[in-house]
Amino acid sequence: MLEWARDLGLVVGAFEEKRLVAMRLGEFAGLTVPGASACDLELTAQWAAFICLVDDRFDRRWVDVHPEDVALLFNRLLDVITSGVGAGSGSGIEQALDDLWRRTAPRMPTQWRERFVADYRDFALATGEEVAGRTDQIRLGLSDYVLRRRRTITALPMADILECTADAPWPVLSGGEDIVGVLRLAAADVAGWTNDLVSAEDDLREDRDNLVTVLGRERGCSLSSAREQVIGMRNDRVKDFHALAASLVAMAAPGTERDAVRRYVATLESFVAATLHWLGVTDRFDARWSPGRPDLCD
């Protein structure tokens, strides 16, 4: 993964390379798609690296990031996955996405490609809203923050990728389409809220909103109390996720339909478990990685 990121210019220099290694994304991929081939394990880790490194360009040093910069970068990235614009001639970010897309999209049906583009576009819009809010010093209330966080965590685009690398496509389930969507949202909430618990100190250093600080502000409680409440929220959401997963499997008809549902559900369960573990061991949010980040559009 490091060689891939270096060759495409996604990371530049020893500092960025060490930081990428410290993220332990290979470990995340191994836990997420444990039965995948070596090629699909690698592809999963590389997608995770791309998602994390792009996301970090907006979450770090946000005073240097303007809404128009965010819109410009995401327009370029969306062009890559919708029309191939920028392939081979853009920035390291664009070249990395082009490489990933060429190795993933042809394996998947049109419906999947459309869903991934829609999910990534929504992530782009939510990130733009977040950066604009920071620029204008707008503080969201708890309910609004929760809704936006599930869009900025990039769990849904990553869940799309796992349909490919885990060979677990979105199941065709009579009467269960809505539950599959709700299950995905529960997975996104677990990932986003756990991420906020782990990154709380990092966010405080850079004066960014975080579920812990938003909840504390709205309820007028201490940060330690807010953290405990967020842990409770996250744990309840994990229970929601598993209850939804069990209900999906139970409603599937025996045979091929149930096998497909079980495979899809098992993949999302691995994703949630891997995310919970990885966020407890990754050094992505360590303070030593704060200085020296590249410009937004490099």
The string of pLDDT tens digits covering residues 47-92 is 999 999 998 777 654 446 788 989 999 999 999 999 876 555 578 9
In angstroms, what is the C-alpha Rg of the chain? 19
Q: How many residues does the chain have?
A: 298
- Give the residue with greater pLDDT, 298 vs 242: 242
Per-residue tokens: 267: 């993949």
Q: How far, in Å, CA of 39 to CA of 271, rounded?
A: 18
pLDDT band for 175, please (50, 70, 90 cuts).
Answer: confident
pLDDT band for 204, please (50, 70, 90 cuts).
Answer: confident
Residue range 99-118: mean pLDDT, rounded = 97
Q: How far, in Å, CA of 170 to CA of 177, rounded?
A: 9
Q: Which of 157, 246, 232 is nearest to 194 (CA)?
A: 232
Residue 289 pLDDT: 66
Cβ atoms of 182 and 159 within 8 Å: the answer is no
pLDDT band for 172, please (50, 70, 90 cuts).
Answer: confident
Distances (CA, A) of 280 to 165, 198, 201, 277, 283: 24, 7, 14, 5, 9
**Residue 239 CB neighbours (<10 A):** 10
Q: How far, in Å, CA of 206 to CA of 228, rounded?
A: 22
Location of structure tokens 């930081």: 19
Per-residue tokens: 58: 């907006």
Cβ atoms of 49 and 6 within 8 Å: the answer is no
Summarize pLDDT for 212-236 with one digit per residue, the tens. 999 999 999 999 999 999 999 999 9
Quick one: 240 exposed, middle or buried, by C-beta within 10 A (0-12, 13-18, 19+)? middle
Rounded to 5°, the CA angle 61-155-31 comes to 105
pLDDT band for 297, please (50, 70, 90 cuts).
Answer: very low
- Give the residue with greater pLDDT, 295 vs 118: 118
3-state per-residue secondary structure call for 85-127: CCCCCCCHHHHHHHHHHHHHHHHCCHHHHHHHHHHHHHHHHHH
Query: What's the mean pLDDT when you consider all of the chain?
Result: 90
Please, what sign has the CA dihedral across residues 16, 128, 154, 140?
A: positive
Residue 85 pLDDT: 66
In 3-state terms, what secondary structure has residue 175?
A: coil
Residue 89 pLDDT: 59
Cβ atoms of 94 and 8 within 8 Å: the answer is no
Residue range 167-192: mean pLDDT, rounded = 93
- Give the residue with greater pLDDT, 208 vs 152: 152
